[in-house]
Each structure stands twice: as structure tokens, then as C-alpha cells.
Chain A
Amino acid sequence: MKVRTHMSMLFHLDKCIGCHTCSIACKNIWTDRKGAEYMWWNNVETRPGAGYPTGWEDQDRFKGGWEYKDGHLDLRLHSRTQGLFRLFFNPALPSIDDYYDPYTFRYSDLFTSPEGEDQPTAVPVSMITGEVMTPASGPNWDDDLGGSPLYAQNDPNLKGLDPGVRAQLSEIEGVVFQYLPRICNHCLNPGCVAACPTGAIYKRAEDGVVLVNENKCKAWRMCVAACPYKKVYYNWATGKSEKCILCFPRLETGQAPACAHSCVGRIRYMGVLLYDADRIPEAAMVPDDQLVESQLGIILDPFDPEVIAAAKAEGIDDGWIKAAQNSPIYKFVKVWRLAFPLHPEYRTLAMMFYVPPLSPVVSTLEKALRASQGKEGLVRLDIPETDLDFEVYESLERARMPVKYLANLFTAGNESLVVPALKKMLAVRILKRQESLEGGVTEKALRVLQDAGLTLEEAEAIYRLTTLPTLEERFVLPPYHREMAAEVWKDPLAHKGETGFGYIQPPLRGE
């Protein structure tokens, strides 16, 4: 057992309102530079939708992630020999059209245009060429199902859905969407690291952040193609690859990453997970439907004395072990089993986790009812409002957001993992709604709670951490002790002065 620590983020999708504040916070801090205009290290997608870059989940086109075949785990992009021959020819790379042509507006037009009949407008101009352009795509072009016949219906996660359900998703009465914020998943088995011919990408041992060494990067761009989440970007100005750094300068100074810190819906949680680095290969080499279980299997119990001893033997600080014990991520992922990694079938063992969203209360039940009554059009359900939740609970398979769709996103299509999580969340919702609106809990609600496999204490804990967490409860950040690390080779005061914005050594092409 080789215990390592990992900083993980958790996205509670049931709380996401799709405001893009996280994206803007990230953009303003990290990617408002020349060459990085088109990059969104953090982006928020509407689901069903095509995402950013458009259709990034189409691995037949982009060849990201790993393939498990005949007991081998191979990069889908290429083998080592193929990689050598394709150094200068990499057709799997996304083009700027797959991202979007970044644009801004010529605001000076508002002040300099001559007097006339019409209100002056700021003309959109390309941020790359500076020429006037008509924007035709963007990082959230299909936001809130905009252009859904083109975008949402091409969502690969809709595969395996009943044709009737698919058709219903595009009906105005049945329309449903959720948001999916994405950052780099800081995987345990990263495709980008494996594909880099120069060995410029590495995973930090102390917190698992995957970083690109800008001094080593030689612009081969294999990482861009090999990352199944398309979260490594190529900076055309510096000729280096760049990616989400999990705001490690903020983490090292005790602050949550900018996206998490700025989150309006407070959907993001940060915490430490302990994992067994020795068992990564075996966790990645199991059939698709067992991937989530095998990944959760290598996440270790921070209260287990054996694990604590092994962690200390690896030189892990007490502060980190304490943070792992208080980690909200550990509770959601391992204790309550409410959260899953995004697309585990890519086999990179993504370490950012998602709590799947609940469907709107009014669901496809409506339609079933209409059909049974032989009526057309909207019909109000003939069920008391207090019983609606129970109806959803009883017939999750007919929930407005199809369970199969969520399973395709989070559990490689394994519905038997998503359903218990949704049931637990619904049971908690029913319980707390009755407590706060009706002043007491009914027998029925308690039966549902028992059926979902929760005790009253657990339900209370899930409720508190979901809806009422303080900043310290959401972000359990361990002490990094960078001051001690810096003292070894640097004057701490000088180091303090140099840490922060910008490049100490500007990365140059041909370095």
C-alpha cells in the first residue's frame, strides 16, 4: 500500500444554476493572456448538449483516454511507435473551429462613431486576427438548450435511450436540462501525461495536481488529443500547452480554487482523499460497469489505523490526514455514495466528482397520466402536491431527466449505481420538506428513508452538508507548509516576493 493524498473537487449538480461565474473567475485569473483567449480551463455546459469543445465526448473523432483490450490498457490516440511516426501528423487534434474563434467587441466604436440616426454598436472582432467577424460558435453556444436540434440531439450520452424517451426530450412539455461545470479532472491515470513525448506533464505527489512544465514542453500537442476531457489547451502565442492547475498557488496559501470560491450556488466542495497509488493499474483494468466501484476501491478510509500508519510512513503530514478525515468529498463519494467521476469509461480515473441532479418534481408522470386518460395537452396531475415526490421516488425510471442519461455521464452506463444515489437524495428531500413545511414526518417518509438505506442521522448530515455548509465545511484545505519546502533552497522572503502572478521565466518557443 502506497498512500498518497489528492486534492479533489466535488460538484453538487443539484445546486448548479449555470451562471458561469466560475468560468469568468478562472478566465480573469488565468487565461486572459495572448494565445489563451479561446481557453476555458473551467467551463459550464448545458446537458443534453455538445459541450466545449463541441462534441468533445466523441472519442472516435478525438481519440482521447484509454482503451482496455485483451488485458492491455492502451492510449486510444496511438501506441509508442505510432506516436513516433505521427509526431508531425496528428489528425485527432481539435481545430480552432471545434473550440471557437474567440472574439471581443470593439467598444471604442461606441464613442468614436459619427453622429447618426441609429444607436452606435460595438462590432465583434476576432481576438486572434483583430478583424471584424460574425461569431458563429462559442464555449457555451448551446447554453440552456439553444440550438438544441443541432447540439443537444447530438449528445453522445443519449445513446442507449429509448427512442420514445429521446423524442420526448425535445418536446416542449418534456424538455429538461442540467448544467455540467467542468475543470481538469486531475486524473489518477492521466492520458495527457502518458502521451507527452517530452515528459513535460507530471502529477504532483503531494496533492495530485497535474501540471505542464512549460520549460520542458515542446509543443507536440499529444496531450491535447490524448486528454478525453479536452482539458489541455495549446497556447499558440507561447507554443506551450496549458491546463487547469487547480489554482495551486491559492491552495498553497489556504484558499479554495477561484472557481470554487466564486461559486454562487455553492455547489463546489474541496477536500483531501487518500488513495493507494499501487492499485491504480488494477483499478483501471476492469470491465466498464465495474469501473466506478474499482476506482472507489482505491480511495482509502482515512480513519483506518492501518491507512494512517501507512500514510505516516510515506511522510504525509498529520494536518493532511486530519483534512482527509474531515473531507466533504470523502463523505459524498465513499460514505454516502452520492457522487461519481465524469465518464469513468475513459479509464483515466478522474478525481473530480459529481453528485447527479434530481429531476424537476413534475416529471414524465404527467405524460403517462395523459396517455392513460386518452387526453392530449397538459393535464395537472391529480395527485396532492405533497405526494408528488413519492411518485417520482416510486418511478425513477420515468424521471424527466432519464436515469440512463445520467448513467452514461457518470457511471459508464451502469444505472444500478445512479438509482440508489438519486433515491437517497429524494428520500432526504421528502424528509426535510415534511419537517419544514408540514411540521412533522409521516410514516411513509420514514419508510422511503429506510428503503433508500439511510438513517435519520445520515439524512440530517447529507442535508446539512448539502444546504447549510459553512465555507470551512465546504473547503477543507490542508496545510501545505510551502514555507518549509521553500526554506530548503530559498530565502522565504524572496520566495514570497516571487510567488504569484506571471512567469518568472517567460516560456519561449524553442526552449
Chain B
Amino acid sequence: MKGKRFFPLALLLALSVALAQDGKALYGQYCAACHGPEAQGIPGAIPPLAGNPRVQEEAYVVKAVREGISGPLEVGGVSYSGVMPPMPQVSEAQARAIAQYLKGLSGAQAEAPAPAPQVQGDPALGRALYLGQKALQNGGAPCQACHTVAGVGFLGGGSLGRDLTDAAKRLGGEAGLSALLQNPAFPVMREAYKGRPLTEAEAAALAAFLVQVSNEVPRPASLYLGRYLVAGMVFLSILLLYQAILWQLRPKSLAERIQSQLRR
């Protein structure tokens, strides 16, 4: 009995140890989405890891993976100012395996990072996708469900995700955003779009929209508060009207009937 119960546990342990050894596989799982399959990065948006002197230091990599990085950064003469989300789900052993893999990679990597293919996005299409006026091809939720950007939309956007007004600046412009949208690095967003990823064209359109919107003047929050109040009032009056109709239709007692007859 006892052995049977512990068997799956032991199997899981053995499997995880085996995985930890495989730094390349772990890189593919956790890092490649943003930093690229060849660790080449995206110029101006996401720093390359191949040939990056910082990855030589194992402790730095482990810390970066598990606690994230933010703030200005300069790699190979290009400055970056993005945010790498913390991934505490990656164990320390796994992070070390990744660091090990990156260390081996850096020496061999000599060629210059290939420039990302530029797809020209349509900001109007992006706006429609953002607002949910046009459905995402693979059935993902429209961005507005969680995010707000410069107060676009009738009642503004959601407040679950971050305000995306400055996303273009934070996340490496159109190119960075486009890459990020196809392979979201943020755990919540990754879960939300699991199995229904954005297509390349959609990502490009959304990126173009986000860049365009970052140059707009954000609409004041009071506008949306006002709209909320008006919409709330309309909703409330509908409810009250419904109640009033129900109240009028209830069986009336004789006292009420007599009083209403007397008033007439």
C-alpha cells in the first residue's frame, strides 16, 4: 500500500530532476518566448542573452529569472528599458540549469542577432481587436477585458491588468510588443491565452495600435466616472420601473382598492 502511494511522487521527483538537467528544454519553456529560440533577443525591446556578459554570472541569472528585472539596461551598446516579470514557479535548481545552458551558449554564439521580421500592423484593426469589436482569431479575450489604455472605450477598460498607455515605451516599441503579444511572458496573461494564441497579424496590429495610442492624450478619468454614473442611473431606473410594475400587479387588498376608489 505504502509503496503504491509513493510511486507517483517518486516518479514526479525523478522527472523533475531529469528536467532540471536539461537547461535547453527549460530555456525553451520559460525564456524563448521573449528572448528568442536562439537567445538573440529583439533589438531595442528585449536584450539578447547570447553573447551577453551578464549571463556568465550564475547568481545574477538565477535572481533575474526568479525575481525579475526592471529598469534601464545596456547590452552590446543598445540600451533597453523594459520589465522582465518574476517567475517564482521556476525552481532554483531549474534556474541554475538555465544559467548553465546560457553560459555554454554565450561562447559559441558569434553571429549577430537576426533582425526580427517586420510586419506592418494596422492600428485601426488593432483598436477593433483591443475593444473586442472584432474577435481574436483563436478565441482569446479582447485586451480591454483586463487592461485600460489611455481611457479608450466607452467606459474605459478593465483594471485587472496593467494600464497599457505607456506599454510601447516600457516594452520595446512596436517590435517588442509584437513579439511579446505572440508569446506573453506574464504568467497571468500566459495562462489566459494558453491554447488560443494571437496570430502574427493580430499581434502586429495590436502593437501598432498601442504605439499609436501612446502618443494620444489620455482621456480624464472623470469622463468615465460620469459615464458610469449615467449608465448606473439608467440601469437603476430600469430596475425600479420593473419593481414598480410588479408592485402594481400584486393582488390588492380591499383596503387599498377602497382607498384608490375614493381617490378617483
Contacts and interface: CB of A to CB of B under 8 A. Distances in A.
Contacts of B254: 50, 54-55, 58, 61, 98, 154
B251 A150 contact: no
B253 A94 contact: yes
Contacts of B253: 54-55, 58, 61-62, 94-95, 97-98
B1 interface: no
A277 B256 CA distance: 40
A45 to B, nearest CB: 13
B258 A60 contact: no
Contacts of B259: 97, 136-137
Interface in A88-133: 91, 94-95, 97-98
Contacts of B252: 61
B251 A54 contact: no
Contacts of A95: 253, 255
Contact of A137 (B251, B255, B261): B255
B251, B253, B262: most-surrounded residue (chain A CB, <10 A): B253
Contact of B255 (A91, A98, A147): A98
A136 B256 CA distance: 12
Nearest to B255: A54
A87 B261 CA distance: 33
B250 interface: yes
B246 to A, nearest CB: 11
A234 interface: no
A53 interface: yes
Interface in B150-206: none
A55 B251 CA distance: 13
A58 B257 CA distance: 13
Interface residues of B, number: 12
Contact of A54 (B258, B261, B262): B258
B258 A91 contact: no
B259 to A, nearest CB: 7
A95 B251 CA distance: 13
Interface string A53-87: 11100101110000000000000000000000000
A151 interface: yes
Nearest to A155: B254
Contacts of B255: 53-55, 95, 97-98, 137
A94 B252 CA distance: 11
B218 to A, nearest CB: 46
Nearest to A56: B254
A417 B3 CA distance: 86
B256 A150 contact: no
Contacts of A50: 254, 258
A406 B250 CA distance: 31
A58 B253 CA distance: 8
Nearest to A91: B250
B261 A150 contact: yes
Interface string B35-72: 00000000000000000000000000000000000000
A61 B262 contact: no
Contacts of B258: 50, 54, 137, 147, 150-151, 154
8 contacts: A54-B255, A55-B255, A58-B254, A61-B252, A98-B253, A136-B262, A147-B258, A154-B254
Given A54-B258, A98-B255, 9 more contacts: A55-B253, A61-B251, A61-B252, A91-B250, A136-B262, A137-B255, A150-B262, A151-B258, A154-B257
5 nearest CB pairs, A to B: A55-B254, A54-B255, A98-B255, A150-B258, A54-B254
Interface of B: 250-259, 261-262
